[in-house]
Structures are given as structure tokens and as C-alpha cells.
Amino acid sequence: MTIVPKHSPFIIAIDGPAGSGKTTTAKALARELGFLYIDTGAMYRAVALFALDQGVREFTPATICPLLPDVRIRLERVDGNQRTLLNGVNVEDRIRTQEMSRAASDISVISCVREAMVNLQREAAVDCDGAILEGRDIGTVVFPDSPCKIFLVADVETRARRRRLQLEQLGIPADEATIRREIEERDANDSTREHSPLRKSRDAIEVETTNTTIDEQVTMILGLVRKRIDQFQKGQLS
């Protein structure tokens, strides 16, 4: 376990497009470092699920913003596995479908949703020695002063294959061509939205993951992170 000063949480920001390996990498780093892992994508999926359960089929500020005061999201770890609680109910399995992935992409462009989720993410990382957050705007919006920013990239074919394998492991049938098309649409939505678009922070370290295994990816990034932590503890990073 890596210990950092308790009064100053060390925030690791991992950003990148869909399927670049953010979640798998973040979870592995959290285990290795003993850091808190905050799955920001689960928060957006939970909001989308709540809206759908309320009968909302068109996501607009007018239909979504009034619902937010009734949304309570909590992430917890049970036996090493994450559970996403929506108003006290475990919805982890329900939010991991392709339908919810598309819904999360659609709802994430709404500014009131992003503002609410950014506040929730910041609050979640306050009372800990170190936290790892992964998403699309962690290093640019949520924690722009993070001393350790990683930006993962991979070609669309690799990302589609990873997503298909991930879904199949969950017992969900998946067509790779369809996934690729949806990833391309998600990339376009994420990079062109008005509020908090996906972009690499100027001080982020870009890591190309197309031709690496997950073990190679984690080992490489873990080395980068430990170097940053050492610099942080020595006061060499602001």
C-alpha cells in the first residue's frame, strides 16, 4: 500500500474515450495502491436509469433537471466488487448494459447533470488519502489540479473488441460491428458536447494502449503513478 499525506489527498485522474481501458486500469491501480476508486461513469448511468424508470424517453434539460433532487447515488465495495446504489437499491447489473451506455452518453451532455455529478465526485474524494477517478473530464474539469493525469487512447477496433469481450463476460450477447458504430458515435458526442467535452489536459501523460495487454498497461501506468507520488511527497509537484 502507498501512503500519501492525509491532509492532502493524492488524486489520480484517468481520462480517455470509451473502451480505452480506463475502468480496468483504475480498478487495478486502486488495488495496488490502496486508493479509493470512484467510478464516475456509474453515476451517469444511474441518473439515466432513474430517468428511464420515471418514464422519461427524451433527455433534455426540461425533462432531466427537475428529477435530480430525487436522485441519491452511492458507490460501495463489497468483497472487492463495486455496487452502485440508486436511492438505496443496488442497480449495478441494470446499469451495465449497452442500452444504459447509450443513455449515459445522451444524458451526460446536459449541463445540470454534469454539474451535479462533478460535485458528487469531488465530495467522494475528500475524506481519503488518495483516490482514482476515471472518466472523460476528470483531469480537465473535476480535478484540474490533480498532480497525476493519465490520458488513455486506443484505436476503435481494439476498443470495440474489448467492449464485446467485457459484455460477453457478463453474459450479454454483443455484436462487435454494432459496438464499433456506437463507440464512434460516443466519441463524436463526447468530444463535441458544449459542456465538459472529452479532451486531453495539457499536463496529462498520454498512454497508447492499442497493442498492450491489460497487465502491461497497468504495470506501465503504475510505474508512472508511483513516480508522481514520490515527487508529490517530496514537494516537487504543486
Asked if residue 180 is part of any domain, the answer here is yes
pLDDT at residue number 238: 57
Asked if the structure places residue 5 within a domain, the reply is no
Residue 170, domain extent? 10-233
Give CA–CA dist 175/34, Å, rounded.
36
Domain membership flag for residue 65: yes
Q: What is the pTM of this model?
A: 0.85
Number of domains composing the chain: 1
Which CATH number characterizes residue 165's domain?
3.40.50.300
In this predicted structure, what is the pLDDT of residue 55? 97
- pLDDT per residue, tens digit, the chain (238 aa), is 444 444 468 999 999 998 898 988 999 999 899 898 998 999 999 999 999 999 999 999 999 999 999 999 998 877 767 889 999 999 999 998 888 988 998 999 899 999 999 999 998 888 778 899 999 999 999 999 999 999 999 999 999 999 898 888 888 888 999 999 999 988 988 888 877 888 999 999 999 999 998 899 999 999 999 999 888 888 877 5
The answer to whether position 1 is within a domain reads no
Residue whose C-alpha is closest to residue 136's, from 22, 1, 5: 22
**What DSSP string runs through 35-97?**
-EEEEHHHHHHHHHHHHHHTT--S--HHHHGGGGGG--EEEEEETTEEEEEETTEE-TTGGGS
Tell me the three cell numbers of residue 109.
451532455
In a domain, 2, yes or no: no
- Residue 118, in any domain of the structure: yes
194 is written with which cell numbers? 458544449
